[in-house]
Amino acid sequence: MSVARPARTRKDSAPPKSGTKTRAAKGKTGAGLPSERETTGHRTDLLASMLRIRRFEERCVELYSAAKIRGFVHLYIGEEAVAVGINEALTPEDAVVSTYREHGHALARGITAEAVMAEMYGRTTGCSGGRGGSMHLFDASRRFFGGNAIVAGGLPLAAGLALADHMRGQPNVTCCFFGDGAFAEGEFHETANLAALWKLPLLLVCENNLYAMGTALERHEAQTDLAMRAASYGMVAWAVDGMDVEAVEHAAGRAVEGIRTGTGPHFLELRTYRFRAHSMYDPDRYRHKAEVEQWKERDPISLLTDRMRENGELGDKELARIEQGITDEIDQAVEAAEQAPEEPVDQLLRHVTSSSTQAVS
């Protein structure tokens, strides 16, 4: 059984050192990757996916400040390598359950920027019909079973999805994202126990960004090595450099392959960091600016960009082309959202209440 390396504490909470040279070893089928997965094209795709998430969220900050997006918004900036790397190991038939910090997960899963932006605006063309907003993105066609505003609330749902596939004999994996704060909730331990007991095809992805809202990890966990604790349930578990998209992709490929062979759930502790506050309402007074700046030195986008430049795989013109394409895509998404209709008031009870006749039928 694989377990995590020694845990970080506040005195040892610096980002992992750069220089990781791991490369993806597993593909979307769970089999060994063909050689082309090591090509410049694949790394370019990884970079573009992370940039799409970053630029989308930066635009959301502008729109929120302009009062065009309302409600709670939790940004994923800094954690893009996790969403992109994990989704590289999943197939369209696999299921994904997310959290309230889910824009990155949704975009990496393939939900269009236009559908997500319309949902942020609360418009009927949004992926949840405008009813979910930032915290409740959903797309059953992509087996993306939504965000969840309740900490750890997605874990039992993920176990249920995995159990359903297991009982039907379908070779699918259910991936559940959650934060380190969810590790302290009973739902995690109940889910981990049942998943290990029943050998469910469940990938548990803990995005450990060191803070549960404003509470530092060592203030809510007596043992901060989360992968080691997860391994105590009898599942394979290890920690991963969550700032390196290729390291994440490699780890996810290994885990998914293990799950598909019937060995039961796997747990990945993605050691990452959010560069922004917990939410747009958060004044972010619980951590030192120097700590944030230190982690920004390992920005996942910069890490991959620098690696590609060093390898002669990326030039200024190619990067500008990628950036322009993403800018155009997000501009179009914003324009479409602003032109999309809001739900008519007389339709607000639709899917909420029903007549007795409709209920019986």
Give per-residue pLDDT as tens, 11-25. 345 676 544 333 333
CB 286 within 8 A of CB 96: no
DSSP 138-171: -BGGGTB----SSTTTHHHHHHHHHHHHHHHT--
Per DSSP, the three-state class of 174 is strand
| DSSP one-letter code for 136 | -
pLDDT of amino acid 357: 63
Beta-bridge mates of residue 266: 203, 236
CB 113 within 8 A of CB 333: yes
CB 243 within 8 A of CB 200: no
CB 206 within 8 A of CB 158: no
Residue 45 pLDDT greater than 90, yes or no: yes
Burial zone of 19 (CB within 10 Å; 0-12 exposed, 13-18 middle, 19+ buried): exposed
Q: Which long-range contacts (CB under 8 A, 24 or more apart) does 185-193 make?
A: 185/151, 185/152, 185/155, 186/152, 187/152, 187/153, 187/155, 187/156, 188/152, 188/155, 190/155, 190/156, 191/155, 191/156, 191/158, 191/159, 192/230, 192/233, 192/235, 192/265, 192/267, 193/233
pLDDT of amino acid 38: 60
Per DSSP, the three-state class of 201 is coil
Give per-residue pLDDT as tens, 192-224. 999 999 999 999 999 999 999 999 898 999 899
| DSSP one-letter code for 349 | T
Q: H or E stretch including 357?
A: helix 356-360
Give per-residue pLDDT as tens, 282-334. 888 899 999 999 999 999 999 999 999 999 999 999 999 999 999 999 999 99
CA gap 264, 30 in Å, rounded:
15
Give per-residue pLDDT as tens, 56-104. 999 999 999 999 999 999 999 999 999 999 999 999 999 999 999 999 9
CA gap 361, 343 in Å, rounded:
26
Give per-residue pLDDT as tens, 328-349. 999 999 999 999 999 999 888 8
pLDDT of amino acid 324: 98
Mean confidence (pLDDT) of the chain: 89
CA gap 181, 216 in Å, rounded:
9
pLDDT of amino acid 115: 98
